[in-house]
Amino acid sequence: MIHLQNVSRTYSRDGVPITALRDASFEIQRGDFVVIRGVSGSGKSTLLNILGCLDLPSSGTYMLDGADMSHRSDAELSRIRSQKIGFVFQSFNLLPRTTAAENVELPMIYAGQRLSRVRAAAALERVGLAARQGHFATELSGGEQQRVAIARALINDPALILADEPTGNLDQNSGAEVMSILHDLNGEGRTIMLVTHDDAVAAHARRALILRDGVVEEAEVTQ
């Protein structure tokens, strides 16, 4: 599903080039559950941005479902994101004065689709929040907000889910609920790539990519 070949990303900071990712090469098969780990500043966010078509590599090739993403326009990348990729963030990124159902519907708007409250309700039911669809984000607990975020990520039926510290702002029980949902989604055949510092969260994965100073290495997952 994913193939990176010698992918690097260099930024300019005050006129000084900074290489955040160096010659990354790896493959991810459809249905994999992969954890991405590394200390702060190691290149995790840069890698996730490239995988999510939010940024382009400075060099190298990124193939997604057999298509080269490396030189696409912003419009093309936006269309690919809306069709193929679901995002789950540590900070939930919900609109606070908007209901759970309306938050879930947002990707349909971005994709230029007809709004469907039925689909939004089904997605919320999938994450155990059927009774909360009319509640504003500010009326939900942290764990409920993250489950709304997962429902939003699922609304366009993506094959790839990218999760950036999805349990980072949650208590242990809420975090376990979120990981159970992601585990089930992986069991349905979706590919999960997840950034975390938590050993218990990392243990859900089958593969681990470790970043050190922008260099990607593969390591065993400790179950």
CATH number assigned to the domain comprising residue 42? 3.40.50.300
Domain presence at residue 68: no
Domain presence at residue 93: yes
pLDDT digits (tens, 9 = 90+) for 121-177: 999 999 999 999 999 999 999 999 999 999 999 999 999 999 999 999 999 999 999
Q: How many domains does the chain have?
A: 1
List, in order, residues 6 or more apart from 54 with CB less than 8 Å away. 77, 81
Domain presence at residue 152: yes
pLDDT digits (tens, 9 = 90+) for 23-34: 999 999 999 999
Structural domain that includes position 118 = 31-56+78-219
Give the whole-number percent of the chain exceeding pLDDT 90: 82
